Chain A
Amino acid sequence: MEHAPAWLTNSLIYLSAAVIIVPLSQFLGLGSIIGYLAAGIAIGPWGLGFVTNVQDILHFAEFGVVLMLFLIGLELEPKRLWSLRRPIFGWGTAQVAGCAAVIFLGAWAAGASWQVALAAALGLALSSTAIALQVMGERNLLPTSSGQASFSILLFQDVAAIPILALIPLLGQGTEANEAAAHASRAVEALKIVTVIAGIILGGRLLLRPLLRWIARTNSTEIFTAAALLLVVGIAALMQLVGLSMALGAFLAGVLLAESEYRRELETDIAPFKGLLLGLFFIAVGMSVDFGVLLREPGTTALIVLGFLAAKMLVIWALAKAMRLPFQERPVFTILLAQGGEFAFVVFQAAAGAKVFTPEVASQLIAAVALSMLVSPLLLVLVDKLLMPRLALRGADKAFDEIAEQQEAPIIIAGFGRYGQIVGRTLLAQGVACTVLDHDADTVEAIRRFGYRVFYGDATRLDLLRMSGAATAKVLVVAVNDVEQSLKIVDIARENFPQLQIVARARDVPHWGELRDRGVLQVERELFESSLRSARSVMELLGFTPNIARQKAMRFRLHNIALFEELYPHRGDSVKALALAKRGRQQLEEQMAKEREQQAQRRPARWGQGTDGKP
């Protein structure tokens, strides 16, 4: 190992730390972020000490955040971004200004100078985009109203980081001397910023797509991947040049490409890099926790962490209330935005550079932010285990009473989207009691009014299933639209509630097979029956009578289902499956042809003809 180059040793260290600790953390139910952070602490200067150049790694890994924002931008067409302008600037300003004001007053009251208090408050008011969006994505919360709100606020913070960073030098001593010069240079800087942003927007509109088309025509995937990376790196460098946030520039580029035909391709190319670099970023955060400061002044650091978390939570909770976010989504929303963010590191380093902070204060604050990033996933776990079961029940009490009498054959419906709703409403129309589980609090609010017994939460959680009566229920309808979640629910139900009969929605053929593997027999392919309906409509338009169109469609349906049953045992064997499918189609065609022939024979003049042959 002695002759191994540094990059090899480093990769070995980082990758093995991640591969060992992250699955462990996930197994313990703590999520991947805590795993990365723990891995970072373990290999960092205060753990095993494998790595010492933490700041370099942190800078490098920040590129993961840049890639993440590029990907987020790809998902966001300009039109949607425009429709979000009010939450971004309205709620975003409220969050940053509100949190900063409270922290500033607290710090000032505690005896800090106003410059230090202001710089600290502005840095601490920002949140970790990386952690928040990662957690929201893991919990499938991004489409919910709290997800949208968090996203808007985080986006605003990215923008706000720019003026904050510009403000920091003004707080430092000795800036008054050359004020005039500074003014002039700031004007030039502003001009540069405007030019670069305008350049990105114009270039993105006019140049990027033809350029990508030209590259795509080379038909070489790795060159396209390289071009995608180059695009992000280039924009990041450009932004760096004029002193803007790299993440913001990448986001802008993403938005500009959101409507292009290369969106999916760019996404699949960039996603693995983003995942790895983001992991590295979390590891770096774990490494950067300065346990030296912690050990020297554990009380002060704890006070700072608790103080700023409490202040931010207070402001954000009030904000959530003002935004009318669903009650059940508020805890996660609050915790995710309350933690300090990666921008704080940058702000504090800048403040130390401008001599606003002494190095001790800077490292103490950085440690506090890192600690808050470490604490917040833990807080989330606590909320899940302790608070959510109670929140899930909140507001359901009334519905409980109403349905209390007809609980002999309760039905549990997991997922109340388009699919689950039809199932549930049909059953409710028969007076059959249904218990509904859904993780979108807006849906939950809406359907609670219709007298359903609704629980807010993830049906993949055993405690939630148990609480909704899975132990005594007869039927579980798995109608969630995520394949992995669907299978997880089925696994949990099979293992813990063997009496429960499962009716499941299959997204596609592989999912159908997976459900079959788990012994679920009542599976419907979600588009099958409605497609047959459309086939009937087409046949009717072609002149088939509705009755005959139905007959043909039903015949096809039976044949298709029989073919599925026949194919099922050979799922792994694609050659055999293909042969069987081909033969199946042939059989159907033969069968239909035979029917047509019989039909023709049955026609006039042959049967029931008079003995004299007269028509």
Chain B
Amino acid sequence: MADSFPAPAAPADPTPTIPPSVYLIAAHPDWNESRVNRRLLETAQAVAASTGAGAPRVDIQDLYASYPDYCIDVPAEQARVAAAQLVVLMHPIQWYAMPALQKLWLDEVLTYGWAYGAVSSGTGDNSAAPANAPGTALRGKDLWLVATTGGQEESYHPESYNRYYFDAFLPPYEQTASLCGMRFLPPLILHGAHSVGRDAVKAHTETFRQHLQTYPDWAGAETLAYDALRRAGPGIEEAV
């Protein structure tokens, strides 16, 4: 299924008759305690329910509700990922990383010989392997991180208590995408999720809705700009 999509080098450009499909994995340990992520989830659900022409088909997975026992149905997950062009990871950042169950999902679902480890290319490089080779199931897909942090944006600074710019915590995500031959889209981050004003939450939710609805229109240009900023140095958020 993955191979019916365009090769990784070319920007995703599916024919207008087939709307892009999205697999959104929402990982929150307790939605009743959530302020921003819950609204994001509701937004995604609204998008998924809309039936406008060209609207993306959004498949939503509430990870902690589906697998409260941490027993992940790997074949089902792989099938849902394989059916999507865009994989969205949506969660609060906990201890500078993704929630435990989301990490377990990566550990168990992104298996060797399926998501990575294209032995046929000789070096294990995903992009060099022939089509349909084992380990290339995710090649050419997009990965989009939609995350919130409890800490304020200013705290992610060498002189504040979090001691690093926030992008210092992104390499595990980026490299996971890279190893699987996926394109890592510019993450959508909201800092200070507990305390940020209502308007800011509303604006953030709206940005998320627009991006989700218009994917993949923005993906090419925004990713190019994001990559350029990343190369320019640390603290991209300050620069933005």
Which residues of A pack against B, CB within 8 Å?
A: 536, 543-550, 599, 603-605, 607-610, 615
Smallest Cβ distance from B190 to chain A, in angstroms? Answer: 13
**Which of B69, B155, B194 sits near A550, CB closer than 8 Å?**
B69
Picked from A546, A548, A604, the residue with its CB within 8 Å of the CB of B194 is A604
Q: Please, how many angstroms separate the alpha-carbon atoms of A605 and B35 in the complex?
A: 12
Chain B residues whose C-beta falls within 8 Å of the C-beta of A544 in the assembled complex:
32
CA A548 to CA B32, docked complex, whole Å: 10
A608/B150 contact (C-beta < 8 A), A543-B32, A599-B33, A603-B194 known: yes
- With A545-B32, A547-B29, A548-B29 known as contacts, the answer to whether A608 contacts B151 (CB < 8 A) is yes
Decide if A608 touches B192 in the complex (CB within 8 Å): yes
Asked if A607 and B30 sit within 8 Å, CB to CB, the answer is: no
Q: Complex formed: what's the CA distance from A546 to B31 in Å?
A: 10
Interfacial residues, chain B to chain A (CB-CB below 8 A): 29-33, 35, 64-66, 68-69, 101, 150-152, 154-155, 192, 194-197
Partner of B64, one of A546, A603, A605, A608: A546
Q: Which of chain A's residues have a CB closer than 8 A to the CB of B152?
A: 608-610
| Inter-chain contacts of A545 with B (CB < 8 A) | 29-32, 64-65, 68
In whole angstroms, what is the CA distance A550 to B68 when docked? 7
B68–A546 CB distance below 8 A: yes
| Chain A residues within an 8 Å CB radius of B192 | 608, 610
Known: A547-B30, A610-B195, A615-B196. A604 touches B65 (CB 8 A): no
CA distance A544 to B33 in the complex (A): 11
Which residues in B have their C-beta under 8 angstroms from that of A543? 32
Q: Across the A-B interface, give the 10 residue pairs with the lowest CB-CB distance, nearest first.
A: A547-B64, A546-B68, A604-B194, A550-B68, A547-B68, A546-B65, A548-B30, A608-B151, A608-B150, A615-B195
Contacts of B68 in A (CB 8 A): 536, 545-547, 549-550
| Contact partners of B150 in chain A: CB under 8 A | 607-608
Which A residues are in CB contact (< 8 Å) with B155? 608
A547 pairs with B65, CB closer than 8 A: yes
CB distance from B93 to the nearest CB of A (A): 12
Interface secondary structure of B, over-half rule: loop
Q: Can you list 24 contacts pairing A with B, beta carbon distance less than 8 Å? A: A536-B68, A543-B32, A544-B32, A545-B65, A546-B65, A546-B66, A546-B68, A547-B29, A547-B64, A547-B68, A548-B29, A548-B32, A549-B68, A550-B69, A599-B33, A605-B194, A608-B150, A608-B195, A609-B152, A609-B195, A610-B152, A610-B154, A610-B192, A615-B195
CB distance from A543 to the nearest CB of B (A): 7
* Residues from chain A with Cβ under 8 Å of B29 in the complex: 545, 547-548
- Of all chain A residues, which has the CB nearest B192? A608
Residues in B whose Cβ lies below 8 Å from that of A605: 194-195
Contact between A604 and B195, CB atoms less than 8 A apart: yes
Knowing A608-B192, A610-B195, A615-B197 touch, does A603 contact B33 (C-beta < 8 A)? yes
The listed residue (B33, B69, B194) touching A607 by CB distance below 8 A is B194
Q: Bound complex: CA of A608 vs CA of B197, how far in Å?
A: 13
Contacts of B195 in A (CB 8 A): 604-605, 608-610, 615
Cβ–Cβ < 8 Å partners of B196 in chain A:
615
Name the distance in Å between B94's Cβ and chain A's nearest Cβ. 12
**B65: A residues at CB distance < 8 A:** 545-547
Docked CA distance A603–B32 (Å)? 11
How long is the Cα–Cα vector from A549 to B64 in the complex, in angstroms? 11
Minimum distance in angstroms from B150 CB to a CB of chain A: 5
Interchain CA distance A605-B198 in the complex, whole Å: 12
B223 to chain A, nearest CB (A): 30
Contact partners of A599 in chain B: CB under 8 A = 33
Q: Give the residues in chain B near A608, CB-CB below 8 Å.
A: 150-152, 155, 192, 194-195
Instruction: State in angstroms the CA–CA spacing of A313 and B152 once bound together.
Output: 90
**C-alpha spacing A605/B197, complex, angstroms:** 10
Docked Cα-Cα span, A529 to B66, in Å, equals 20
Cα–Cα distance between A264 and B150 once the two chains are bound (Å): 62
CB distance from A156 to the nearest CB of B (A): 54
Instruction: Name the residue on A nearest B149 (C-beta).
Output: A608
The docked-state distance in angstroms from the alpha carbon of A164 to that of B150 is 92
Assuming the contacts A547-B68, A610-B195, asked whether A604 and B35 have C-beta atoms less than 8 A apart, the reply is yes
Interface-centre pick from B68, B150, B196 (highest chain A CB count, 10 A):
B68
Q: Which residues of A sit under 8 angstroms from B151, Cβ to Cβ?
A: 608
Minimal Cβ-Cβ distance residue in B for A543: B32
**Residues in A neighbouring B101, C-beta threshold 8 A:** 547
Closest-CB distance, B83 to chain A (whole angstroms): 24
CA of A603 to CA of B195, assembled, Å: 9
Instruction: Write out the residue numbers on chain B whose beta carbons fall within 8 Å of the beta carbon of A550.
Output: 68-69
Q: How far is the CA of A608 from the CA of B196 in the complex (A)?
A: 10
Rounded to whole Å, the gap between the CB of B194 and the closest CB of chain A is 4
Report B-chain residues with C-beta under 8 Å of the C-beta of A547.
Answer: 29-30, 64-65, 68, 101
CB distance from A601 to the nearest CB of B (A): 12
Q: How far is the CA of A609 from the CA of B191 in the complex (A)?
A: 11
**Nearest residue in B to A547 (C-beta to C-beta)?**
B64
Closest chain B CB from A470 CB (angstroms): 34
Residue on A nearest B64 in the bound complex, by CB: A547
Min CB distance B155 to A, Å, is 7
Which residues of chain B are within 8 angstroms of A607 by Cβ–Cβ distance?
A: 150, 194
Bound-state Cα–Cα, A608 to B195, Å: 8
**Bound state CA distance, A544 and B64, in angstroms?**
12
Q: How far is the CB of B131 from chain A (nearest CB, A)?
A: 36
Residues of B within 8 A of A546 (CB): 64-66, 68
Contacts of B66 in A (CB 8 A): 546
> Could you tell me the distance in whole angstroms from the C-beta of A164 to the nearest C-beta in chain B?
65
Nearest CB on A from B63, distance (A)? 9
Residue of A536, A547, A608 ringed by the most chain B CB atoms within 10 A? A547
Contacting residues, chain A, for B32 (C-beta < 8 A):
543-545, 548
A258 CB to closest chain B CB (Å) equals 43
B163 → A minimal CB distance (Å) = 15
Q: Which residues of B contact A615 (CB under 8 A)?
A: 195-197
Distance in angstroms from A546 CB to nearest chain B CB is 4
Residues of B within 8 A of A549 (CB): 68
Q: How far is it, in angstroms, between the C-alpha of A615 and the C-alpha of B199 when the chains are bound?
A: 11
| Max count, chain A CB within 10 A of own CB: residue among B35, B65, B155 | B65
* Alpha-carbon distance between A605 and B194 when the two chains are bound, in angstroms: 6
How far is A607 from B35 in the complex, measured between Cα atoms in Å? 14
- B194 — which chain A residues lie within 8 A by C-beta? 603-605, 607-608
- A110 shortest CB reach to chain B, Å: 74
**Once the chains are docked, how many angstroms separate the CA of A543 from the CA of B33?**
12
A610 to B160, CA, bound (A): 12
Q: A545-B29, A603-B33 are in contact. List 6 more A-B contacts (CB 8 A).
A: A536-B68, A545-B32, A545-B65, A608-B155, A609-B195, A610-B152
A610 neighbours in B (Cβ, 8 Å): 152, 154, 192, 195
Most chain B C-beta atoms within 10 Å of own C-beta, residue among A536, A603, A605, A608: A608
Find chain A residues with CB under 8 A from B154 CB. Answer: 610
CA distance A573 to B63 in the complex (A): 47
Docked CA distance A546–B154 (Å): 35
Closest Cβ neighbor of B194 among chain A residues: A604
CB distance from B67 to the nearest CB of A (A): 8
Bound-complex Cα distance A603 to B33 (A): 8
Most buried by A among B151, B152, B155, B194: B194
- Minimum C-beta distance from A361 to chain B (A): 76
Bound-state CA distance A230–B46 (Å) is: 74
Q: Smallest CB–CB gap between B160 and chain A, Å?
A: 10
Q: In whole angstroms, what is the CA distance A240 to B55 when docked?
A: 88
Q: How far is A599 from B154 in the complex, measured between Cα atoms in Å?
A: 25
Measured CA separation A599–B30 after assembly (Å): 11
